[in-house]
Structure 1
Amino acid sequence: MNWSLLVQLLANGLIVGMLYGVVAMCFVLIYKSTQVVNFAQGEFLVLGAWVCLWFITDMQMPFIVAFLFTLVFMTLFGIMIQVVILRPLIGEPVVSVIMVTIGLSIFLQALMNWIFGNSAERFPQVFETESVNVAGLNVESAYLMSLVMSVLIMGGFYLFFRFSKYGLAMRATAFNQQTAQSLGISVRQVFALAWAISAIVSGVAGIIIGMVNSVSSSLAIIGIKVFPAVILGGLDSIVGAVIGGIIIGLLENFAEFVDGQFLNWGNLFTIAPFYVLIIILMIKPYGLFGTKDIERI
């Protein structure tokens, strides 16, 4: 057994899993605030990656400047989506809003293919060295950036929800919207803020993944791959989203190792998280950290 390869893959899985956890937090953030699952989350990643690449290649901006401009763009984009498309649907059945997010996903796919094309493009070299040696492991520089950004975002989420006025307002709205309104909290502002934060974080994740791979519409599959992490951790648990993301990241890379060394099926990397998701949900239907709904008749 190639133990060095296993350790390398698990290290990569941990880093990628933390990034999955960050994207999963976006799902949870929107769900807790609005009770809606955003099926266009993957397209948010693709849009952030394409916009940052456009700033770098067409506008000739340095990476840091392009990165900051992309964050501003994604903030405005998230607010616009909530205000223009989703705010008129407040009070409508949840399934109607979910169908709108699916339609938004299809629309954004078509729009980005029309604007940016269908071919994959790579980021210009951002770091002086593409990979570095950490404790004997060969880790891509973009993965290290992913690790740092994931930790910063998770820490930012904690501080935001724990100490900021808007974070407390979002927690109150997630607990009970009517009670939050009675306390003077603007639920509409909370919804807009939730979508803005979700768009920003998704854009960051898209940039990092685009740096590791290349930028194309196929990045949207990350939104599907992260969904098992959301369900696994619990659809209403921020902590569960992070842990679920790490589990899925480790599981994917461990499945790749087992498949390459022993089974040679060729697709275990893709399907293993979904098998584990089914097994866990059979035992804990609300996920590892989800809140169990109790209905009294």
Structure 2
Amino acid sequence: MEFFFEVLIGGLLAGVMYSLVAIGFVLIYKASGVFNFAQGAMVLFAALTFVSLLERGVPFWLALLITLAVMLALAVGVERLVLRPLVNRPPITLFMATLGLSYVIEGAAQALWGAQVHGLDLGISDEPLELHGMLLSPFDLFAAATAGVLVIGLSLGFNRTRMGLALRAVADDPLAAQAVGIRLQRVWVVVWAVAGFVGLVAGLLWGARLGVQFSLSLIVLKALPVLIIGGFTSISGAIVGGLIIGASEKLAEVYLGPVIGGGLENWFPYALALLFLLVRPAGLFGERAIERV
């Protein structure tokens, strides 16, 4: 039983890391209806910028502030140069634009910082911590606490502020929101800037866990099952979806892997997401689209 809970808690903590990436998708999708495929490239760009500054002798906190400024500038630039000219275009057009943007950002990162693999040390010990006979990762606990603080901050910001009210209005009906005086461009700039900040947090944590390399941008694929299960429009759903994915993939690998073969951890989340698409397409916390015919 102790081993079961050790695997379960380890999976839950790993799922929080997936949620950090999924939150960036949710923010942009809620405000503009755009599935930002470039979010993974933004995570890579943030981690690569930060670690490259550290290797050039820039102090930790200064490198963090510079990287944050770069990510905010990148997010605002993407909104102005890519999203704004494509307003009122079909969703597939916007999706293809972000898909192409992801390769542009990756190419820019390679041109600026090179293609070599970097190690990233955030000063957090990853030696197993024993708790009631279970071995837990202090790094995963730190990541879970970071995600919790981030979710609480975003929830308060979007539920208790005028900008949050404007965001919800834009998410419900962009044309009606614009008719009552809400500036869509301003809302989109804020949302993309917040998504850039979330990408920075996710990039630092994922970079410290896996190393800063170009395969880091592929974590966008790991966020897809999280979004399908939790819902594309819910921040809390991104957290719940990440916990479900993290726990289920670890338990499936440990208990089902020896029976039907290894490698379940790679494809089991997508099988679970497919099941949710068949049973509950909007996800656990997603809003069902209702159209008047």
Return the TM-score normalized by structure 2.
0.92
List aligned pairs for 1:82-97, cutoff 5 A.
82-97=79-94
List aligned pairs for 1:29-108, cutoff 5 A.
29-62=27-60, 64-108=61-105
Match for residue 198 of structure 1 among 195, 200, 203: 195
SS at match of 1:230: helix
Which position in structure 2 is the counterpart of 1:214? Answer: 211
- 1:48-68 deviations in whole A, cap 9, x for unaligned? 111111121113312x44333
- 1:101-141 deviations in whole A, cap 9, x for unaligned? 000112222332333333322114623x3325252443333
Aligned positions, number: 292
**Structure 2 unaligned residues grouped into runs of 5+:** none
Which position in structure 2 is the counterpart of 1:278? Answer: 274
List aligned pairs for 1:5-24, cutoff 5 A.
5-24=3-22
Deviates more, 1:25-34 or 1:66-75: 66-75
SS at match of 1:205: helix
Separation in 2 of the partners of 1:295 and 1:185? Answer: 23
CA-CA distance at 1:172 after TM superposition: 1.1
CA-CA distance at 1:164 after TM superposition: 1.4
What is the letter of the counterpart of residue 268 of structure 2?
A
SS at match of 2:6: helix
Q: Cα–Cα, structure 1 residues 125 and 106, in superposed 2: closer, same or farther, change >3 Å?
A: closer
**Is the Cα–Cα contact under 8 Å of residues 49 and 210 in structure 1 kept in the other structure?**
yes
Separation in 2 of the partners of 1:171 and 1:290? Answer: 14
SS at match of 1:131: coil
Query: What is the aligned-residue identity percentage?
Result: 32
Separation in 2 of the partners of 1:231 and 1:30? Answer: 15
Match for residue 292 of structure 1 among 279, 285, 288: 288
Match for residue 135 of structure 1 among 125, 131, 138: 131
SS at match of 1:91: coil
Whether 1:267 aligns to 2:275 is no
Which position in structure 2 is the counterpart of 1:169? Answer: 166
What is the letter of the counterpart of residue 133 of structure 1?
L
What is the letter of the counterpart of residue 278 of structure 2?
M
Separation in 2 of the partners of 1:139 and 1:68? Answer: 31
Match for residue 144 of structure 1 among 141, 144, 149: 141
Return the TM-score normalized by structure 1.
0.91
